[in-house]
Chain A
Amino acid sequence: MDQRIDIDWTSCQAHGLCAELLPEHVTLDEWGYPLVDGGPVPARTLKRARRAAADCPALALKLTAR
């Protein structure tokens, strides 16, 4: 099943690490919060996406199968 990036908005504190680790999928809005492209994460990027999820200081970035 496709993995997609989902943000737990109640946890996200705009650290911005996700945009550094996954620049092709995540950019930041004018307040520093992630703008996610919403598409499936390709297999070649999955490892980096998992790292972004694990490294998020607020654990707000989730990979969900849906």
Chain B
Amino acid sequence: MTMTQSELHMPPRLLAPGGTAADLATHGQRYGPLSYGDPAALLRTVAASGLTGRGGAAFPVHRKLTAVAEAAHRTGRAPVVVANGAEGEPASRKDKTLLALSPHLVLDGLQVAAHAVGAGEAHLAVEEGVSYLESAIAHRGDPVPVRVVRLPKRFLSGQASALAQFVGGAAALPSYQNPPVRERGVRRAPTLVQNVETLAHLAMIARYGPDWFRSAGTPGQPGSALCTVHVSGHQPRVIEAPFGTPLHRIVPLNGMSAVLLGGYHGTWVPAADAAQLRLDATTMGAGVLATLPTDRCGLTETARVLRYLALQSAGQCGPCLNGLPRIAAAFQTLATPGPQGATRTDVFRWAGLVEGRGACHHPDGTVRLVHSALTTFATELDAHARGFCTATSPTPLLPVPQET
């Protein structure tokens, strides 16, 4: 079993207790009134907190806020703020869970961010099908109006430039980012795109200050993060854990051969190595932790995910369009016991050809997964080449949406 929240020695900061959605009154009682301060003081507070983005890249929030504010000053255009709740990663549930349980914390953070950069409009981007947010917004009377936008359910919909395109009325596809979205995003205005969990932390920091925020986590990586934990035979669950928490306290490692850290753009780590690791912003991506039991084949799981990732390519950039399907097909060969020929060499060559050669990081993240699988499952790879697989259970493990 995974640890319960109380066993992590930290009461949840973001998720409403008891798994019940917090309405505005409950939210107000729990957290108290929201204070803003002037934007300069707010930026200093965020800098002191050390908050980093929780969408996967762990970029310092105060630097992004400052860059957007400066671009607005330079261009004379009011910035746009976008709360990113797209969560296209199929293995991640934390943003949906946060929006369902604590929508007002996210909406508070969106107002704080808009205030910090001087934005005149704010958008909350979520996946198609989420319905309750307009009524939550209608109860509030926020100074900056918030519009809910619903994104097509695709892996790349939440990519910052795709999101900026979509909010501006175009298709949700990544675009060439020079200048970057923070300088020229929605309808060419400076645009702050921030993950919904990041905004929820921001709302807490605005209320309780940087010292309170730093009372969890480590000096180098302050605060806590939401994680989606996958354990075979159980529903995925979302927990909140401080940075620095040993991974074995978050996911059970006994009887496991490996852990997928950070989701489908993340890395496979052998269970023995994971036992020595702690929750780290630079490796956890958007917080997915999935364990692989010893009776499953990591190559088969990776091949399924790679096929999905290849199909999710927007198909705009040549190397990704050509490379990802070839990598996925070759990996299917590697996942099947039998002669491999030059397949391994092909995978390495194609991985080198797609990395860093796209408008977004989809090829880079895919290659990261490929390399970690080839390393972590090297022994299994050799077994497959000799014609057998050590796995005994063929049941698929990692969630991959059905192909349409």
- A contact set with B: CB distance below 8 Å: 6-14, 29-33, 62, 64
The smallest beta-carbon distance between B342 and chain A, in angstroms, is 14
Chain B residue at minimal CB-CB distance from A9: B317
The answer to the question of B357 belonging to the interface, with a C-beta cut-off of 8 Å to chain A, is: yes
Is B176 a contact of A31 with CB atoms below 8 Å?
Answer: no
Among B175, B176, B357, the residue within 8 A (CB) of A33 is B357
Docked CA distance A7–B320 (Å): 14
Q: A62-B178, A64-B178 are contacts. A9–B353 as well, Cβ < 8 Å?
A: no
Is B319 a contact of A10 with CB atoms below 8 Å?
Answer: no
Q: A30-B353, A31-B318, A31-B322 are contacts. A9–B358 as well, Cβ < 8 Å?
A: yes
In B272-320, which residues have CB < 8 Å from any A CB? 316-320
Chain B interface size, as a band, is 10 to 19
Is B357 a contact of A10 with CB atoms below 8 Å?
Answer: no
Interfacial chain A residues near B178, Cβ < 8 Å: 6, 8, 62, 64
Docked CA distance A32–B357 (Å): 13
Q: A29-B353, A30-B353 are contacts. A9–B359 as well, Cβ < 8 Å?
A: yes
The answer to the question of B270 belonging to the interface, with a C-beta cut-off of 8 Å to chain A, is: no
Is A33 a contact of B318 with CB atoms below 8 Å?
Answer: yes
Interfacial chain A residues near B317, Cβ < 8 Å: 9-10, 12
Is A10 a contact of B174 with CB atoms below 8 Å?
Answer: yes
Among A6, A9, A62, A64, the residue within 8 A (CB) of B318 is A9
Is A33 a contact of B359 with CB atoms below 8 Å?
Answer: no
Interfacial chain B residues near A8, Cβ < 8 Å: 176, 178, 359
Chain A residue at minimal CB-CB distance from B353: A29
Q: A8-B176, A9-B176, A30-B353 are contacts. A14–B318 as well, Cβ < 8 Å?
A: yes
In B163-188, which residues have CB < 8 Å from any A CB? 173-176, 178
Name the residue in A11, A31, A32 with the highest tally of chain B Cβ atoms < 10 Å from its Cβ: A31
Among B316, B319, B320, the residue within 8 A (CB) of A29 is B319
The smallest beta-carbon distance between B269 and chain A, in angstroms, is 30
Name the residue in B175, B178, B318 with the highest tally of chain A Cβ atoms < 10 Å from its Cβ: B318
Is B322 a contact of A9 with CB atoms below 8 Å?
Answer: no
Is B176 a contact of A10 with CB atoms below 8 Å?
Answer: yes
Q: A30-B353, A62-B178 are contacts. A10–B359 as well, Cβ < 8 Å?
A: yes
Is A10 a contact of B322 with CB atoms below 8 Å?
Answer: no
Is A31 a contact of B319 with CB atoms below 8 Å?
Answer: yes
